[in-house]
C-alpha cells in the first residue's frame, strides 16, 4: 500500500503487476482497495493494477461533510489517474464503485477503453428501502445519530447488513473490518450521495464496451439496476449469476474472474449452464 496526496486529501492505494496495460479497480461503499487483492494477484502477469481507497474509506483521508457526491468521487479518481500518469485500459468497479466507473465513462471517456460494473448502483434504490430511510428528515437524524454511536452501529446492525454469513469467514472478516475503520461521516454521506441521484438518464451517453455483472439474489442493490444499465448502454454485455448476492467477487471468485479475463481479452464469455449470459444488446464491440 502506498500514499499520495490528491486534491488536498491523503489517498492510499495498492499497485502491482508487470503487464503493459493498466487496470483501475474501484471498491464500493464502506469497503476498501483490499477487496481487489485477489483480483490483482490473479491478473498480475498481464496487467498493471491500481486499487485506491476512496476518500473516507480504508486508509484514505476523509473530506469535509459538504464534499460528498458521486461527481466528486469521480473527479478524485480522474485526478488520481492524472497524478499517476495512467489512462487505464479498463476501469472495474463494484457497487458504488460501479456507479463511479460508469460516471468515468460518461464524463471522462478518454480515461478508459473498457468498463466493468459489478452490482452497480444506478437508480439510487437500495434493498430494504434503505434509500428512503436515508433521505429527508430521517436521513438528517441518521446523520446526527451516527456521529454519536458509530462504533456500536458498525459492530452490530450495519455489519449484519453488509457482511452476511454467505460470504464466508475471510470475506466477512474483511468487510467487517473495512466498515469499522471507515469514517462514520463518509459512510453516511456517501450513501446519501448514492441515493439522491438517479444515474439512469445518463446511461445511453456511455460509448465504451461495458461488461455488467450482477447476482440474481442481490438484496443490497436491486438486480434490475444492472439489467437497466445493460439495456441502455449501447455496447453493454450483461451477465446474471444464479444464487449470487451483492458480492460476486467473493461469492464466485473463479467465475467472476473468468468473465473479467475473457472480456478484457476479447474472448466470448461462456459460463457454465447455471449462469445466464446475455450477448451484447445493441451491437458487437469487436
**CATH of residue 64:** 3.40.50.1820
In angstroms, the CA 267 to CA 259 distance is: 9
**pLDDT at site 82:** 97
Name the phi and psi angles at 209, rounded to 5: -60, 130
Determine which helix (DSSP H) or strand (DSSP E) holds 222, and give its type and residue range.
none
3-state secondary structure of 87: coil
Low-confidence ranges of the chain (pLDDT < 50): 132-133, 137, 279-286
The answer to whether position 33 is within a domain reads yes
Task: Supply the DSSP symbol for 110.
Answer: G
284 falls within a domain? no
* Domains identified in the chain, total number: 1
Q: Is the residue at 140 inside a domain?
A: yes
Distance CA 78, CA 87 (A): 9
* 163 occurs within a structural domain: yes
What pLDDT is attached to residue 79?
98
Burial class (CB in 10 A: 0-12, 13-18, 19+), 49: buried
- Cβ-proximal residues to 24 (8 Å cutoff; 6+ apart), any chain: 50, 51, 52, 77, 81, 86, 88, 90, 91, 92, 112
Q: Does 236 fall in a domain?
A: yes
The answer to whether position 11 is within a domain reads: yes
Please state, in angstroms and rounded to a whole number, the distance separating the CA atoms of residues 183 and 166.
Answer: 26
Q: How many CB atoms lie within 10 A of CB 136?
A: 9
Quick check: is 286 in a domain? Answer: no
Predicted local confidence at residue 181, as pLDDT: 84
87's grid cell: 489512462
The reply to whether 210 falls in a domain is yes
Domain that holds residue 28: 2-278
How confident is the model over 76-129, as pLDDT tens digits?
999 999 999 999 999 999 999 999 999 999 999 999 999 999 999 999 988 655
What is the rounded distance in angstroms from the CA atom of residue 37 to the CA atom of residue 51? 8
Cβ of 184: how many Cβ atoms within 10 Å? 18
At residue 182, the pLDDT reads 86
The single residue listed with the C-alpha cell 496495460 is 21
In this prediction, residue 101 carries a pLDDT of 98
The sheet with strand 114-118 has its strands ordered as 2-6, 9-16, 47-52, 21-26, 90-94, 114-118, 210-215, 236-241, 276-278
Amino acid at each position: 500500500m502506498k500514499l499520495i496526496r490528491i486534491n488536498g486529501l491523503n489517498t492510499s492505494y495498492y499497485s502491482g503487476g508487470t503487464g503493459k496495460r493498466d487496470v483501475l479497480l474501484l471498491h464500493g461503499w464502506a469497503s476498501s482497495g483490499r477487496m481487489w487483492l485477489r483480483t490483482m494477484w490473479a491478473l498480475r502477469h498481464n496487467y498493471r493494477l491500481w486499487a485506491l481507497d476512496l476518500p473516507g474509506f480504508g486508509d484514505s483521508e476523509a473530506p469535509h461533510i459538504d464534499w460528498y457526491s458521486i461527481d466528486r468521487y469521480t473527479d478524485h479518481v480522474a485526478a488520481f489517474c492524472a497524478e499517476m500518469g495512467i489512462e487505464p485500459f479498463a476501469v472495474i468497479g463494484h457497487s458504488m464503485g460501479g456507479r463511479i466507473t460508469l460516471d468515468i465513462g460518461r464524463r471522462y471517456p478518454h480515461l478508459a477503453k473498457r468498463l466493468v460494473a459489478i452490482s452497480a448502483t444506478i437508480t439510487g434504490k437500495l434493498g430494504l428501502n434503505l434509500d428512503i430511510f436515508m433521505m429527508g428528515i430521517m436521513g438528517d437524524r441518521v446523520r446526527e445519530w451516527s456521529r454519536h454511536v458509530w462504533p456500536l452501529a458498525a459492530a452490530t446492525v450495519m455489519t449484519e447488513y453488509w457482511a452476511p454469513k454467505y460470504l464466508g469467514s475471510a470475506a466477512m472478516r474483511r468487510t467487517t473490518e473495512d466498515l469499522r475503520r471507515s469514517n462514520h461521516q463518509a459512510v453516511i454521506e456517501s450513501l446519501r450521495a448514492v441515493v439522491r441521484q438517479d444515474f439512469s438518464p445518463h446511461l445511453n451517453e456511455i460509448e465504451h464496451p461495458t461488461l455488467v455483472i450482477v447476482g440474481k439474489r442481490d438484496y443490497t442493490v436491486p438486480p434490475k439496476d444492472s439489467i437497466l444499465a445493460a439495456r441502455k448502454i449501447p455496447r453493454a454485455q450483461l451477465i446474471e449469476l444464479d444464487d449470487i448476492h451483492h458480492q460476486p467477487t467473493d461469492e464466485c471468485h473463479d467465475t467472476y474472474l473468468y468473465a473479467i479475463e475473457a472480456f478484457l481479452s476479447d474472448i466470448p464469455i461462456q459460463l457454465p449452464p447455471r449462469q445466464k449470459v446475455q450477448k451484447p444488446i445493441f451491437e458487437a464491440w469487436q
